[in-house]
A and B are shown apart, each in its own frame.
Chain A
Amino acid sequence: MTQPQGTLRIIHGRLVDARGDSGSPQTLLVRDGRIEAVGADAEQGPADRVLDASGCVVTPGFFDLHCNLREPGNGQKGNIASETLAAAHGGFTTVCASPETSPVNDSSAVTHVILDVAASRSPIRVLPVGAVTRGLAGDLLSDMAGLKKAGCVALGNGARPVANARVLRRCMAYARTYDIPLMMTPINEALAADGYAHDGLVASRLGLLGIPEVAETTALMELLLLAEETGVRLHLAQLSSARSVAMVADAQARGVAVTADVAMHQLLFTEAALAGFDSRFHVRPPLRTEADRQALLAGLRDGVIGAIVSQHQPHDSAAKQAPLGATEPGLSTIESVLPLGLRLVADGQLTLSQLVAALSHGPAAVVGEQALLAPGQTADLCVFDPRAPWQASDHALRSAGKHAPVRDQVLMGAVRYTLREGQVVWQAVD
């Protein structure tokens, strides 16, 4: 991609990043795709272009550690072009592509396909995450160093566990050798079995097959102990329970190099979302209790959890048009993440700066990057109007997946501009 030349001045925007919130309108100057100056320094001299962000918030572009782009795949559930456009619509400038594609991204050939398609079809940056075991089967190590060389920023096993602890330990030791971060979902398959809902009150009442909390925590304990021993950089993907947050906090206090994320929908919904057998809320890990939700929010505020992910899983409508237990898990979320997050801010659960940190700098740090509104940083930016109404609908959603978590209500917060290296890649049409 050619570097855009020239200067862009973004005026009258409230600047928010992980370090703070300007409160009042400020100016930001971009030169040649990078942030040149912020505040009074940015107001000096002429600019080639001016973008008026009056009434809007300007933040680093959002960074998603877990996004399913469905390519390679059969195209029914979306592709790199459709899902990265949706991500740009949602204010994201970087998405990590989950290895759960078809075929699985367990070889440099697949990684190259993803990067090549993204280079020509994606308005934003796509960072592949490779499979840590071949075919995600959990038996054999993938060509980890090769995947890293091809462009994978981390390796993981998707939503699946590496059930054999000996294989898991070797994955970690090998990844440690080449300084590759591992992104693992804590899940004990034997305990999760055929479950598709939190093993609690709602599952008991509706006769749903439950996934107990211990399906997460026993696997988490194993991951933490092995990470501590091997010294691998471990990132825990999509925690769902209060107990998990406490266990990660303990490990961090002991000095284990472990980070964690949570999916946005885990911060807004609980098991109660399944009360009407609403198949959209069939997600993994399952939505748990209000106490879990509160603990996940507290974990974010305390910094135990550093990132919020979309866990975007677009599906064709047939995949969700069936009795709950026969549907495929996952929500189409990437365009709803910001308005849902702003709801948490409006409810006083997070400050705007905390929300923005968890959507930008926090996740970027997991793969060794930064995402701040500071001179020298890449000008990947999101400009959104926090008071603009937005409602998900088949028409409004750019994703191939129309199963957004909230469709029957108007939410507040709409992205006006998404900029990648100083270039507008998404612009709202009024």
Chain B
Amino acid sequence: MIPNDPFPSLQLTAAGQLKHFLTLDGLDRALLTDILDTADSFIEVGERRIKKVPLLRGRTVVNLFFESSTRTRSTFELAAKRLSADVLNLDISTSATSKGESLSDTLLNLEAMASDMFVVRHSQSGAPHFIAESVTPGVAIINAGDGRHAHPTQAMLDMLTIRQHKGGFEGLKVAIVGDILHSRVARSQIRALNTLGAEEVRVIAPGTLLPTDVEALGCRVEYDMAAGMKDLDVVIMLRLQKERMEGALLPSEREFYRLYGLSQDKLALANPECIVMHPGPINRGVEIESAVADGPQSVILNQVTNGIAVRMAVMSMAMSGQVAERGQNQAAGEQA
């Protein structure tokens, strides 16, 4: 009843510019569209002989991965380098914190290196928020995936892929299939699709893999995949972690694949133009049939190009917001 600080303000400047990129919650359609448009410009840069622009020249970007992910880290690294930033990769999962150093202490040490941006991957939901709250002003925080909470760059690259294939989001019916409960990607995708104006978002999964009150996130629940595939324009398959079998969430991989795996038969129930997406890496024969993953409706591969472009867009926009805010603070200081 006594309100807390509204956290969207954490990632926006007073003028509504992005200064951190922590979650898609609280970002409006115009801002998400700006991100996609800017990413489009960076896709063009990626097609040049020299795929590099000088925007972040002289700035230092630290990839702070508390949970290792070579794939995501590599795209962030490439994105930062294509913006001409200096990049430092720190795999914290194997160093400081295992020696008992607290996250706050690790950050203090890193700030001494005069970094301008932290790209944070952490197993705890909200870790990037925590870092954004405690970091020195002027340093931008980019969420590269936190716990089950959000993976906003992944969701935005998926949105870019959808827009490239479908032209926009109006009237689209999109389904997300699989382990919604543990998926930060799904949470960010549901938010993005709602904000960008998709007509319908469905989640298709058994009850054990759905969060409580999932409908309130802005989606409709479908337990039966055949019914869920009807009229679909986009189907997004989530990766199923093997350890889900051990937690009594699912009886077996075989049963899951039979009920929720994307086979050619099931895909045939969707619109003929339906595209198939997967944030990767793919478990063939667990959530998706090889023939579908490699088939004509699959857009899994060009998601890599989009991933670099979206990350370049978000990094340059957040740095830009930090620059603008510092300018405003300086102006305010001079007036005072």
Judge A-B direct contact (beta carbons within 8 Å): yes
- A197's closest neighbor in chain B, by CB? B125
Q: Which of B56-64, B146-154, B289-297 contacts A (4 or more CB under 8 A)?
A: B146-154
Does A323 have its Cβ within 8 Å of any Cβ on chain B? yes
Contacts of B213 in A (CB 8 A): 200-201, 204
A212 and B130 CA atoms in complex are apart in Å by 25
Contacts of A201 in B (CB 8 A): 212-213, 216
Contacts of B2 in A (CB 8 A): 268-269, 343, 405-406, 409
Does B10 have its Cβ within 8 Å of any Cβ on chain A? yes
Whether B4 pairs with A273 at a CB distance below 8 angstroms is yes
Task: Convert B1-31 into 0s and 1s, putting 1 for each residue whose CB lies closer than 8 angstroms to a CB of A.
Answer: 1101111001000000000000001000000
Whether A203 pairs with B212 at a CB distance below 8 angstroms is yes
Contacts of B130 in A (CB 8 A): 277, 279, 322-324
Contacts of B149 in A (CB 8 A): 206-208
Does B239 have its Cβ within 8 Å of any Cβ on chain A? no
Does B202 have its Cβ within 8 Å of any Cβ on chain A? no
Does A326 have its Cβ within 8 Å of any Cβ on chain B? yes
Does B211 have its Cβ within 8 Å of any Cβ on chain A? yes
Contacts of A200 in B (CB 8 A): 212-213
Given the interface contacts A273-B4, A276-B129, A408-B5, does A207 sit within 8 Å of B122 by beta carbon? Answer: no
In the complex, how many angstroms separate the beta carbon of A408 from the nearest chain B beta carbon? 7
Contacts of A273 in B (CB 8 A): 4
Does B121 have its Cβ within 8 Å of any Cβ on chain A? no
Whether B1 pairs with A268 at a CB distance below 8 angstroms is yes
- B10's closest neighbor in chain A, by CB? A276
Contacts of A151 in B (CB 8 A): none
Contacts of B82 in A (CB 8 A): none
- A349's closest neighbor in chain B, by CB? B1
- A205's closest neighbor in chain B, by CB? B217
Contacts of B109 in A (CB 8 A): none
Whether B126 pairs with A210 at a CB distance below 8 angstroms is no
Task: Convert B109-131 into 0s and 1s, putting 1 for each residue whose CB lies closer than 8 angstroms to a CB of A.
Answer: 00000000000001011110110
In the complex, how many angstroms separate the beta carbon of A340 from the nearest chain B beta carbon? 9
Whether A205 pairs with B125 at a CB distance below 8 angstroms is no
Given the interface contacts A322-B130, A323-B125, A325-B126, does A210 sit within 8 Å of B212 by beta carbon? Answer: yes
A352 and B148 CA atoms in complex are apart in Å by 43
Task: Convert A402-415 into 0s and 1s, putting 1 for each residue whose CB lies closer than 8 angstroms to a CB of B.
Answer: 00011011000000
Contacts of B217 in A (CB 8 A): 204-205
**Which residues from 162 to 216 on chain A have a C-beta closer than 8 Å to any C-beta of chain B?**
199-201, 203-210, 212
Does B134 have its Cβ within 8 Å of any Cβ on chain A? yes
**Which residues from 104 to 158 on chain A have a C-beta closer than 8 Å to any C-beta of chain B?**
none
**Which residues from 299 to 337 on chain A have a C-beta closer than 8 Å to any C-beta of chain B?**
318, 321-326
Whether A207 pairs with B148 at a CB distance below 8 angstroms is yes
**Which residues from 166 to 216 on chain B have a C-beta closer than 8 Å to any C-beta of chain A?**
184, 187, 211-214, 216
Contacts of B104 in A (CB 8 A): 318, 321-322
Does B102 have its Cβ within 8 Å of any Cβ on chain A? yes
Contacts of A321 in B (CB 8 A): 102-104, 134
Contacts of B216 in A (CB 8 A): 201, 204-205
Q: Name which of B4, B10, B130 has the most chain A CB atoms within 10 A of its CB.
A: B4
- A290's closest neighbor in chain B, by CB? B1
In the complex, how many angstroms separate the beta carbon of A217 from the nearest chain B beta carbon? 15
Whether A325 pairs with B4 at a CB distance below 8 angstroms is no
Whether B212 pairs with A206 at a CB distance below 8 angstroms is no
- B6's closest neighbor in chain A, by CB? A276
Contacts of B184 in A (CB 8 A): 207
Given the interface contacts A269-B1, A323-B103, does A275 sit within 8 Å of B7 by beta carbon? Answer: yes
Whether A325 pairs with B1 at a CB distance below 8 angstroms is no
In the complex, how many angstroms separate the beta carbon of B181 from the nearest chain A beta carbon? 9
Whether B214 pairs with A204 at a CB distance below 8 angstroms is yes
In the complex, how many angstroms separate the beta carbon of A265 from the nearest chain B beta carbon? 10
In the complex, how many angstroms separate the beta carbon of A92 from the nearest chain B beta carbon? 22
Whether B4 pairs with A278 at a CB distance below 8 angstroms is yes
In the complex, how many angstroms separate the beta carbon of B97 from the nearest chain A beta carbon? 10
Does A270 have its Cβ within 8 Å of any Cβ on chain B? yes
Whether A207 pairs with B187 at a CB distance below 8 angstroms is yes
Whether B212 pairs with A323 at a CB distance below 8 angstroms is no
In the complex, how many angstroms separate the beta carbon of B238 from the nearest chain A beta carbon? 14
A200 and B217 CA atoms in complex are apart in Å by 11
A406 and B4 CA atoms in complex are apart in Å by 9
Whether B7 pairs with A276 at a CB distance below 8 angstroms is yes
In the complex, how many angstroms separate the beta carbon of B189 from the nearest chain A beta carbon? 13
Contacts of A276 in B (CB 8 A): 4-7, 10, 129
Contact of A207 among B1, B7, B102, B125 (CB under 8 A): B125
Contacts of B147 in A (CB 8 A): 207, 323, 325
A212 and B122 CA atoms in complex are apart in Å by 24
Contacts of A204 in B (CB 8 A): 211-214, 216-217
Given the interface contacts A321-B102, A322-B130, does A212 sit within 8 Å of B212 by beta carbon? Answer: yes
A205 and B214 CA atoms in complex are apart in Å by 8
Contacts of A318 in B (CB 8 A): 102, 104
Contacts of A209 in B (CB 8 A): 125, 148
Contacts of A270 in B (CB 8 A): 1
A→B interface (CB under 8 Å):
199-201, 203-210, 212, 268-270, 272-273, 275-279, 281, 293, 318, 321-326, 343, 405-406, 408-409
- A-B contacts, 24 of them at CB < 8 A, read A200-B213, A203-B211, A205-B187, A206-B149, A207-B125, A207-B147, A207-B148, A207-B149, A209-B148, A210-B211, A210-B212, A268-B2, A269-B2, A275-B4, A277-B7, A281-B4, A318-B102, A321-B104, A322-B104, A322-B130, A323-B103, A323-B130, A323-B146, A343-B2
Q: A203-B211, A275-B6 are in contact. List 12 more A-B contacts (CB 8 A).
A: A199-B212, A204-B213, A272-B4, A276-B5, A276-B129, A277-B129, A318-B102, A322-B124, A323-B122, A323-B146, A325-B124, A409-B2
